[in-house]
Chain A
Amino acid sequence: MSSAVMRLRAVFEKSGRAKYISHLDLNRFMLRTFRRSGLPVWYTEGFNPHPYYSFALALSLGYESSCEIMDFNLTEEMPLDEVRDRLNAVMPEGMRVLSVSEQRLKITAITSAEYSFSLVTEQPEELYAALQELMAQPEILVEKKTKKGIKTVDIRPDIDIVSCEKSGDSVDIAVRLPAGTQTNYNPSLLIGSLRDFCDIPFEEENIKRTKILCENNEIFS
């Protein structure tokens, strides 16, 4: 059995039609991508060997991302750019590896992620104001599904609005939310709270994960 000589981390983009690939399907997709690429990926040992790869964070169906992270190992030394290019050569529209590097931090170092999205509305002024008002509340209680059932949590302390701009027909937001092995908040929690908080009709569009961060809001790598 060959051993893992390169422990690698790919940052990849998931956009366009690829955003409809569910997390479960992404697993199967990557298996086939690796096989098509012909890269010497390291297989797990044991009864049912399969190529080892692992995604840092799951991405909700319908979200785009410019910063997805996947770890995998190779059994042979190879230039990092070649690894990237060979994967990209067999990827479909919307999936693209942006970089491949050695794994630096452990996945457990991830603390948060940033998302951008637009709230499309006929009343951007009012919606903008409503969001400010929501964020000024002492607490924002949401019901969150956990393994033990539904529990009510206050998400206010963990929401960090990075930017918020209004345009002709939308409010465009960037937000930082906890992510990683402990707590994962999804922008839909904030969007849902806003919808409950005001009666202004809006639709969320173009939700995209833009950064995966570790301590001190540094880019995780």
Chain B
Amino acid sequence: MSASDARSAGGQGGLNRPYQPQGVPILDVTDLKKHYPLRGGFFGGTTGHVYAVDGVSFQIARGETLSLVGESGCGKSTVGKAVLRLFDITAGQVVLDGKRIDDLSAGALRPVRRRVQVVFQDPFSSLNPRMRVRDILAEPIRNFGLARDSRDMEARVAKLMDTVRLPRDAVNRWPHEFSGGQRQRIGIARALAAEPDLIVCDEAVSALDVSVKAQIVNLLQDLQQELGLALLFISHDLAIVEHMTHRVAVMYLGKIVEVAPKRSLFAAPKHPYTEALLSAVPVPSPGAARQRIILKGDVPSPINPPKGCRFHTRCPYAFDRCRVEEPTLNHVATALDPGHVAACHLHDRPEAENPLAIAKGAALVAA
């Protein structure tokens, strides 16, 4: 089943149909951890750790979009950078297309890098101000030896400009001559230049104005269909995520608390944090009757995360077990989709005592 089939599968059957990956996933992350040491004291010794990412596992199939959502500081961008191997991870495994990449040396890693590219959030700092568009796009092509000769290089650069709907003659211009949306298109073209299988979109549309955001979202979706790309779409914007993803993973304080196919998650969230997130997003329908869950307090510090379930300090349904025992990601019996997993003790309780047993999505988002 291709990506487009998954998206168009609507109606009763489609709601319950999971995205069925075939063969080896393009990306398989197991128990990924990234702890940053905190240095302090007179001798600069390690005084503690920031548990930025603390045991995260997920898979992305070929041509699939997995969205990583969560609030600032939940570790979603760190996961993206770990997948890109922009730093060494603390523990865990990152397997790209069946090949483990987290332990590769710099030399062995270089050819593998071609397959995973990135689009960053800020269209202004993501392009080198001292390089012309042509050189920005040529760099990955040259690094991976993709062009046969200089004419092939020219042709590839021109084709990339076509792909992202920019005029070909703009390759001679400098980044500052473009608007934010156009720069983001250049960033996408640079990612495509390496002919990757997977693109990490780290808040790729968050900094753009509403009307420009729609242009870039549409472009990303078109490209995914045309090129069969897999996307790791990191975002805090749930409406955009819902619009363009196949599956969603929700992160809270360095851990994934829920993973589900899109419809299953938005129609019937199975983690209290997801439920609160959905109910908190302002929707452009004035006077809509919706169930609001206003979480108390702030996200705890990742230096000293709470014992037990990390969400228990803010959870409206927390009970004794949540404070001592950390829940694991388990399949949820009441979910709309068999591929729906959540880390919450509520699902071990009888349905009558489980506020998340029913499908509440529509009431939360006023849809």
A binds B: no
Q: Which residues from chain A sit less than 8 Å from chain B, CB to CB?
A: none
